[in-house]
């Protein structure tokens, strides 16, 4: 009986391992495989700006603004997530280092263009907090693209890495 149980447990472990290898293999072969890790990193304890009622835009509106060259696109995710892939042309201004990043981007943000913030997906509030914070700094025309990087990618759009590659 012990031999039977041991043999059965070994078979179960082998089947599970083989299933995992096959699943990972298919995921790698897919054009847009499922992410195995989340690009989102919980924010360190930082002072949050109160949320305001900020205008929200959809993917079509964002694309129209991008095509017209009338937008400064700002990624509110952490720098490590930004480096892995961001909407082409976007700038990185993570909440965790918003003061120093703002100083670097201040001229662009006050150039009179529409500023659109985004983060991961509609559940991520970092882009809304950042938009509110930017309004406090005198950036008046601020909107939030709720779809985030997930919505951008799921619509079949490429992302840019910090190396300049678009994939």
User: Based on the domain organization, do 68 and 138 belong to the same domain?
Assistant: yes
> Would you say residue 141 lies in a domain?
yes
Yes or no: say if 47 and 86 are a contact pair by the CB < 8 Å rule: no
- For residue 76, being part of any structural domain is answered with yes
Which residue positions in the chain have pLDDT lower than 70?
Answer: 31-51, 163-167
Kindly state whether residues 20 and 69 are assigned to the same domain.
no
Q: DSSP states of 50-91 as a string?
A: PP---EEE-HHHHHHHHHHT-EEEEE-S-HHHHHH-B-TT-E
What kind and span of H or E run contains 154?
Answer: helix 148-154
87 in the same domain as 14:
no
Pair 81, 144 in one domain: yes
CA distances from 10 to 3, 7, 18 (A): 11, 5, 12
Q: Assess whether 12 and 78 both reside in one domain.
A: no
Query: Residue 88, class by beta-carbon neighbours within 10 Å (0-12 exposed, 13-18 middle, 19+ buried)?
Result: middle
Domain shared by 141 and 71, yes or no: yes
Q: Give the structural domain span for 3.
A: 1-30
Same domain for 22 and 65, yes or no, is no
- Are 68 and 141 in a shared domain? yes
Is residue 46 in a domain?
A: no
Look at residue 78 and tell me if it is in a domain: yes
β-pairing verdict for 55-57 and 142-145: parallel
Say yes or no: 25 and 86 in one domain: no
Q: Are residues 17 and 86 in the same domain?
A: no
pLDDT at residue number 45: 47
How many domains does one find in the chain?
A: 2
pLDDT confidence of residue 114: 94
The pLDDT, as a whole number, for residue 44 is 47
Contact by Cβ (8 Å): 74, 91: yes
Spell out a b/e string for 113-144, using b for 16 or more CB atoms within 10 Å of the CB, else e: bbbbbbbbbeebbbbbbbbbbbbeeebeebbb
Return the CATH number at 122.
Answer: 3.40.250.10
**Is 39 part of any domain?**
no
Note whether residue 59 is domain-resident.
Answer: yes
């Amino acid at each position: 009986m012990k031999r039977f149980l041991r043999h059965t447990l070994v078979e179960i472990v082998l089947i599970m391992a083989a299933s995992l290898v096959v699943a990972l293999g298919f995921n790698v072969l897919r054009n847009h495989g499922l992410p195995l890790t989340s690009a989102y990193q919980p924010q360190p304890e930082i002072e949050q700006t109160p949320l305001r009622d900020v205008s929200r835009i959809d993917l079509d509106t964002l694309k129209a603004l991008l095509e017209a060259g009338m937008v400064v696109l700002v990624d509110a995710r952490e720098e490590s997530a930004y480096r892995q892939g961001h909407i082409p042309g976007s700038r990185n201004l993570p909440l965790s280092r918003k003061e120093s990043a703002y100083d670097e981007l201040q001229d662009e943000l006050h150039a009179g263009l529409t500023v659109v913030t985004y983060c991961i997906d509609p559940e991520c509030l970092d882009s809304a907090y950042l938009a509110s914070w930017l309004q406090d700094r005198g950036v008046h025309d601020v909107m939030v693209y709720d779809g985030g990087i997930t919505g951008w990618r799921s619509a079949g759009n490429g992302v840019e890495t910090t190396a300049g590659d678009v994939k």
